[in-house]
Amino acid sequence: MAREKLNRAQRAQLARITQAGLSHAAATLKQMLGGEIRIQVTEEPFRCAAVLIRLGLRGALPGELFIALPENLAQGLVKRLTAESDLSLLNERARSALMEFGNILASAFVGYYDQNHGLRTLPTPPEMSLVPLDIPTFDSSVCASFSWSTGQVRGDLLIGFEQPGLDILLVR
């Protein structure tokens, strides 16, 4: 997943910087979903789950963001976002809601760096898959966990960064 070009101190700094953007994303999602939202950088490896949402990052911080959600968490998000309790994840309305969730998370994440550091980055339109995808190799990556309300069911995030975005983040 990562060609890890960073030393231990740089990886720790990247984790701290990434956490700031993820905390901003969690606050944004809390306004939309209600309940308790936690997005926390973790040392645990990225786990693919039933639903995978993929967004590219273009601009000052090039890379990709992957969101992996277990089926029951994805269904809970669909229910909250559509106000319909029985949509299949194959349903276009359910898929659209989950991709919009990914778009909001990614936009809030990169929005933090735009607002606080003047680093203009935009997510590409989200793609959703119900089958495992090959995760590309990045210059460096950060894993995080996502939980909503009880936290008993969690999803995973993977943010892959490429040069020169890493250089920009690490000099801040």
Indicate whether 116 belongs to any domain: yes
Q: 169 and 63 in contact (C-beta within 8 Å)?
A: no
Q: What is the mean pLDDT of the chain?
A: 91
Q: In this model, does residue 61 exceed pLDDT 90?
A: yes
**Whole-number Cα distances in Å, 168 to 14, 103, 111:** 11, 23, 16
Q: What is the pLDDT of residue 151?
A: 63
**Residue 53 belongs to what domain range?**
8-170
Q: Which residue has the higher pLDDT, 152 or 113?
A: 113
Please state whether beta strands 140-148 and 127-129 pair in parallel, antiparallel, or not at all (unpaired).
Answer: unpaired
Residue 3 lies in a domain: no
pLDDT for the residue numbered 152: 67
- Residues 2-25: tens digit of each pLDDT: 666 788 999 999 999 999 999 999
- What pLDDT score does 1 carry? 53
* pLDDT tens column, 124-151: 999 999 888 888 899 999 999 999 986 6
> How much is the pLDDT for 129?
93
Domain count, the chain: 1
Pick from 64, 73, 44: nearest CA to 147: 73
pLDDT bracket for residue 98 (50, 70, 90) = very high
CATH number of the domain that residue 20 is part of = 3.40.1550.10
Query: How many angstroms separate the CA atoms of 163 and 167, rounded?
Result: 7
Q: Is residue 1 part of a domain?
A: no
Q: Is residue 61 part of a domain?
A: yes
Residue of 50 and 160 predicted with greater confidence? 160
Q: Model pTM?
A: 0.93
Q: What is the percent of the chain with per-residue pLDDT over 70, rounded to a whole number?
A: 95
Residue 38 is assigned to a structural domain of this protein:
yes
